[in-house]
Structure 1
Amino acid sequence: MPRRRASISVGAMAVVCTLALSACAVGPSDRPAVAHDGAGAGGPGQPTTSAPQKPIPPLTEPQDSALSWTDCTDTVNRKLGGVNGLRVGCAKLSTTLDSPTRPGRGSNRVQLTKIGDGKQPLVVLNDALGEPGSLYAVRLAGQLPKEILDVYHLIGVDRRGTGDSDGVRCVNQPSRTAMVGFDPAVTDAATLGQLLDTTRDAAQECMLDLDEQLGAYDTWRTANDMNSLREALGVPRLNAVARGDASRVLTAFAERFSNEVGRFVLDGSPDPSVDAVGQAEARASGLKDTFAAFTADCATRGCALGAAPDQVVTAVLDKLRAQPVRGARITFQAGTALRAIAAGLADRLRWPELADAIVKARDGDVSGLESFVIPLWNGPDRDMIRLDGGLVTTCNDTTTRVDPARAATLAQEWSAKYPIFGAMSAHELAWCMPWPVPAQPLPVPRAPEAPPMLVLGTEKDAITPLPGTTKTAEALASAVQVNWQGAGHGAFAKSACVNEASRLFLVEGKAPTNGTVCPP
């Protein structure tokens, strides 16, 4: 049995438009359909649709669920940091661990939440390093239109190894601090070697703690958990929405269980055509573009960052580089601050708060930034640490390993191409260097037998940039892509236009026009 250490506790955590959609068969269109905001004299119009080349599966009557739900509203409200008025149920699903050394054996527990009264279950998944799906689903339920919630109840899922799904807690606190706080300006191999020493310590701790379980925490096996969940929910096909890298869980599911695919919404996705290096560069590019959108928004609002937010960020990093500052729970170094800013860029609704936090940090007060980055160390309880489970999943999903010399070369190149965030993205490649290499990476999604999927792209996405999402849609044999001209991370439930496309697909089983563009 693997050894378990006691976790170190750090403390408690962290529009109206209507689609002008015309129908089309699934596949590329000659030109994008542009959705308008319905402000003209004629008012909003009703979209028209036609059947795609492959039928979208019908919604069928669910059978009795094998899951036992208990009310956990108060617990979830505490974790979310406030009351949202929704009743929440919690359940655990037992699945097979299926580690590489013990295939088909072992047990794994998956944490679930249930929100809403609609008859059909809609499974919700989130990024491995993001908010656990059990909580993300509760937030989502407060944002989705009534037309969707009348049909579906949401099932939030903590991916294996994350959140309360036997959450991985194997990286010691000094290693977490050093990895997250590492100076984002470093571009030389010798100093990057220090980061490698830290990640080696983290990998050794996790290999010791998890033992033969280590290789079981990946996206491919999480897809099998989703099939077990489908069976427990009593439905012949799984209906689901996944944000960011969680979309890979659904594409892996479609590869493995094509006959059980229902209505899938992929809300952003990493580029499946490139390796980890290509994906890291894409994130650097996405952060650069999202920061530009943040800067423009700041200028429009007249925020306290002034005319040059990039200079203020640089000043904050320089100050922390010279003298780290202790926050309420953690010590801030330059890397800590930049990761907090990156996390804030991904949450469009919190941009005003982020701007104020950066200004305060310039003046020596890091409390505002701390709320953005603390979940990497600790969530509302010790089980919600995001870094550990996200790190294990990320390293198990790729065969790419980057040594300090190559990481230094990439850091030099990317710091020139993507100021502020380029080198930091290169550094993250070194995190997986000491980890065991999996037998094979995730396959490029094809899913030739699966029904159409709705792929949502965000023009300026800080985590899964639009080009990668488009590559995913192009790789799939049957997909419809709708792009939102917004910023942050993900488009689902972010605009009335996207909501209407989602309603057409999820509720009516109709495909919106491939290439439709929704305004910001």
Structure 2
Amino acid sequence: MRWTRAAVTAATLSIMLAGCGAGPSDRPAVAVERPGAGGGQTEAPTTPEPATADVPQTELAWADCTATTLESLELGPGPAGLVLECADFATPIDTAGTVLGTFRAGALRARLPQTPPDAAPLVLTSGADRSSASTLAGLAVGPDSALLAAQPVVAVDRRGIGASQPIDCIPAQLRSVLHDLGQTGVGGDDQVEAVAGYSQDATIACRDFLQPYEGTFDAPHAADDIEQLRKQWQVDKINLIGTGNGAKVALSYARRYGDHLARLVLDSPEPVGADATTMAEAAVTGAEAALTAFAQRCRAAGCALGDDPRAAVTALMGEAAAGELGTITAADLSTALIGFLSSPRGDQASRVNTLADILAAAERGDRGPLAALVTRETAAIDSDGEFVNRCTDSRLPPTQDKARELAETWAGKYPVFGRVAALELMVCSAWPVSTAPPLPTDLDLPVLVFAGVADPVVGGAGGSVTGALGTAGARHATMTWQGWGHPVVAHSGCAQQAVTDYLADAELPADGGACPA
């Protein structure tokens, strides 16, 4: 069955006509002493102090949502005294004025009892990888607290994701077969063609539903939403961290509003300017490396997957691909595994046995725990808003013939995640081709970059970002984390301390430093 138009009503996504927030405060420029006139002795110009982020002058209407957030994300209890607060704010659909009205953006603020009340917040965006709020909540319940102890962190969800105004444009049955990559809904055996067809149906449905503002879900518009938050706070400078896909949003903010940045952190940034195939292979390489790290720890702990946990997982993926795990497809198993391996909750190591027990139970025929894990991880990354944002960001997907070739090649090269990753390249294949958002060209700001050696979301992509930063004239330093997971700051106390120090004095660590696993 094909869907050619979205069976939805315009009431689902209302256009609000609320006005914009107040503008930023004006701050004087830093004075530089000039040499005196005449032939007398002169003094060297003073070096201006690095700019600092400001404490909000006008706050959002925050409401405590600690319990509901942790419960909905199934994160378990947080550290003593953790406070999570939710709010939203109106942001123009298009700052250029081509589309009138506003969109509701969701935000989450996290702080601890020791967080200074007068500290400027760090703004976080994880883009379309998962909601920024869930990334922040995962970081907040982790074992490391240096970042939150030094300042509050405020996550801004991208349009249609998380707590932001939702998008409901894909019919439920289409959403299901698109997620399963056609494994449960194909009459023949050509999954590539099937997924490409479902992509066309979903694309038509969503673009019909969103018009006339279907083109406002890219990284520059997400940067505009962060700028609107700055205006609502009535501050001149903010600190910003972009993780994964959110680094693209952060770089767009740096290009459009660089004068309002005090500090910029790029954590596990996705490749800059890369096509869909390059990005997918980087991610699948990272996922396989993360699985290897998991398997090593699993074996060392004497986990339920036996002497060769990686072989056990590979065999389980083969069963899922062959339809031998009941309703659990290969795409489902991939989602569950990557969801665990990339969880922003920073205690994966202590939960290795939990995942091993779930997978071992599925091997024995008890698939209930695995099905529950699939449901949870799918909900975290599979909303209609994420489809729209990811496809808007996607560039140059391969042809169907190339995807078929990759499915065969990657199945051998990346035995657990390769075939699914190749099929996923077709999910956005019908979305109109987009151009990469322009990068900063003149960035007078030190930038801190983190890269993980086993990142299941972006792989090792820091190099392309640092090249772009160098072109823009920005000083930068990269630190590599030796562990597995995404993003780095959620898992590494060393990285959190590096960010805290950098936010305090704008001094970068030595380039090429490393944080232990």
TM range (shorter): 0.7 to 0.9
Equivalent of 1:392 in 388, 391, 406: 388
Is the 1:183–1:335 Cα contact (8 Å) retained in structure 2? no
**1:87-98 paired onto structure 2 within 5 Å:** 87-98=83-94
Provide the secondary structure at the position in 2 that maps to 1:115. Answer: strand
After superposition, what is the alpha-carbon deviation per residue over 1:456-479, rounded to whole angstroms, capped at 9, x for unaligned?
A: 11111111212x122212321322
Alignment correspondent of 1:303: 303
Alignment correspondent of 2:122: 122
Which position in structure 2 is the counterpart of 1:435?
Answer: 431
Aligned to 1:168: 167
1:422 to 401, 409, 418: 418
Code of the residue aligned with 2:303 in structure 1: it is C
For the 8 Å contact 1:134–1:157, the answer to whether it is kept is yes
**Offset at residue 120 of structure 1 (A):** 0.8
Task: Tell me: CA distance 1:144–1:511, structure 2 relative to 1, closer, same or farther (3 Å).
Answer: farther
Within-5 A mapping of 1:234-383: 234-323=234-323, 331-347=327-343, 348-349=348-349, 350-375=351-376, 377-378=378-379
2:502 is matched with which residue?
505
Report if aligned partners of 2:286, 2:457 keep a CA contact under 8 Å in 1. yes
Deviation, 1:446, is 4.1
When structure 1 is superposed on structure 2, of 71-80 and 499-508 the one drifting more is: 71-80
Residues 1:4 and 1:363: Cα distance change in structure 2 (over 3 Å): farther
Judged with a 3 Å threshold, the aligned counterparts in structure 2 of structure 1 residues 428 and 442 are, in CA distance, closer, same or farther, namely: farther
CA distance in 2, matches of 1:57, 1:324: 60
- Give 1:189-204 correspondences, 5 Å limit: 190-204=190-204
After TM superposition, list the pairs within 5 Å mapping 1:97-108 onto structure 2.
Answer: 97-98=93-94, 103=98, 105-108=100-103
User: For the residues of structure 1 that align with 2:355 and 2:444, how far apart are their CA atoms?
Assistant: 41
1:465 to 454, 459, 475: 459
Q: Which amino acid aligns with 1:402?
A: P
Cα displacement string for residues 4-54 of structure 1 (whole angstroms, at most 9, x for unaligned residues)? 5989xxxxxxxxxxxxxxxxxxxxxxxxxxxxxxxxxxxxxxxxxxxxxx9
Q: Is the 8 A contact 1:189 1:407 kept in 2?
A: no
Flag the 1:213–1:353 CA change in 2: closer, same or farther, 3 A. farther
What are the within-5 Å matches in structure 2 for residues 203-214 of structure 1? 203-214=203-214
Deviation at 1:259, TM superposition (A): 0.8
CA distance in 2, matches of 1:301, 1:55: 53
Aligned to 1:475: 468
Alpha-carbon deviation of 1:254?
A: 0.7
Among 4, 9, 12, the alignment partner of 1:3 is 9
Could you tell me which amino acid in structure 2 is paired with residue 417 of structure 1? K
Distance 1:214 1:55, change over 3 A: farther
Greater mean alpha carbon deviation, residues 344-353 or residues 257-266: 344-353
**Mean Cα deviation higher: 344-353 or 283-292:** 344-353
Contact kept, 8 Å, 2:182 with 2:195, in 1: the verdict is no
SS in 1 for 2:155: strand
TM-score (norm 2): 0.81
Once residues 64 and 172 of structure 1 are traced to their aligned partners in structure 2, the CA distance between those partners, rounded to angstroms, is: 43
User: Structure 2 CA distance, aligned partners of 1:90 and 1:412?
Assistant: 45
State the identity %: 28
Counterpart position of 1:488: 485
Please state how far the C-alpha of 1:246 moved relative to its aligned partner. 0.8
Aligned to 2:105: 110
**Partners of 2:48 and 2:394 in 1: CA distance:** 33
Q: Is the 8 A contact 1:485 1:517 kept in 2?
A: yes
| Alpha-carbon distance change, 161 to 463 in structure 1, aligned in 2, over 3 angstroms | same
1:505 counterpart SS class: helix
Tell me if structure 2 keeps the 8 A contact 1:125–1:242.
yes
The equivalent of 1:215 in structure 2 is: 215
Letter in 2 for 1:363: R
What is the CA–CA distance in structure 1 between the aligned matches of 2:321 and 2:61, rounded to whole Å?
51
- Name the aligned partner's letter for residue 315 of structure 2: A
Shift, 1:166, TM fit: 1.0
Q: Is the 8 A contact 2:407 2:419 kept in 1?
A: yes
**1:259-305 CA distance string (max 9 Å, x none):** 11121221101111421111011112111211221221122112121
**Other structure's SS at 2:442 match:** coil
Q: Give the counterpart letter for 1:374 in structure 2.
A: T
Alignment match of 1:453 (pick from 447, 463, 470) = 447
How far apart in 1 are the matches of 2:148 and 2:428? Answer: 40
Aligned to 1:19: none
Q: 1:292 to 1:78 in 2, by over 3 A?
A: closer
Sort the Cα spacing of 1:362 and 1:145 in 2 relative to 1 into closer, same or farther, 3 A: closer
Aligned length: 459
Q: State the alpha-carbon separation in 2 of the partners of residues 231 and 406 from structure 1.
A: 46
CA contact (8 A) 1:65 1:234 kept: yes
Inter-partner Cα distance in structure 1 for 2:251 and 2:393? 14
Matched residues in 1 for 2:328 and 2:228: separation?
42
CA-CA distance at 1:211 after TM superposition: 2.5
Question: Hey, what does 2:60 align to over in structure 1?
Answer: 67
* Greater mean alpha carbon deviation, residues 453-462 or residues 342-351: 342-351
Distance 1:235 1:273, change over 3 A: same
Distance 1:496 1:339, change over 3 A: closer
Partner in structure 2 of residue 407 of structure 1: 403
1:220 match: secondary structure: helix
Mark the CA change 1:321 to 1:509 in structure 2 (over 3 Å): closer, same or farther.
closer
1:214-263 superposed Cα distances (whole Å, 9 cap, x missing partner): 22112121011111111212321121222211111101111111111121
Report what 2:23 is aligned to: none
Amino acid at match of 2:178: M
492-501 vs 159-168, which moves further: 492-501
Quickly say closer, same or farther: Cα 1:321–1:281, change in 2 above 3 A.
closer
CA distance in structure 1 between the partners assigned to 2:95 and 2:507 by the alignment: 39
SS of 1:448's partner is coil
- Higher-Rg structure is 2
User: How many angstroms apart in 2 are the aligned matches of 1:144 and 1:252?
Assistant: 32
TM-score with structure 1 length normalisation?
Answer: 0.80
1:123–1:346 CA distance, 2 compared to 1 (3 A)? same
Show CA shifts across 1:452-508 (max 9, x none).
111111111111212x12221232132211111111222114223223212211223
- Whole-Å separation in 1 of the counterparts to 2:49 and 2:467: 18
For residues 95 and 382 of structure 2, what CA distance do their matches in structure 1 show?
21
Q: Is the 8 A contact 2:50 2:505 kept in 1?
A: no
Are 2:57 and 1:58 equivalent residues in the alignment?
no
Q: Secondary structure of 1:212's partner?
A: coil
Q: Structure 1: how far apart are the matches of 2:418 and 2:274? A: 18
SS at match of 2:215: helix
CA contact (8 A) 2:53 2:239 kept: no
**Does the residue aligned with 1:473 lie in a helix, a strand or coil?**
helix
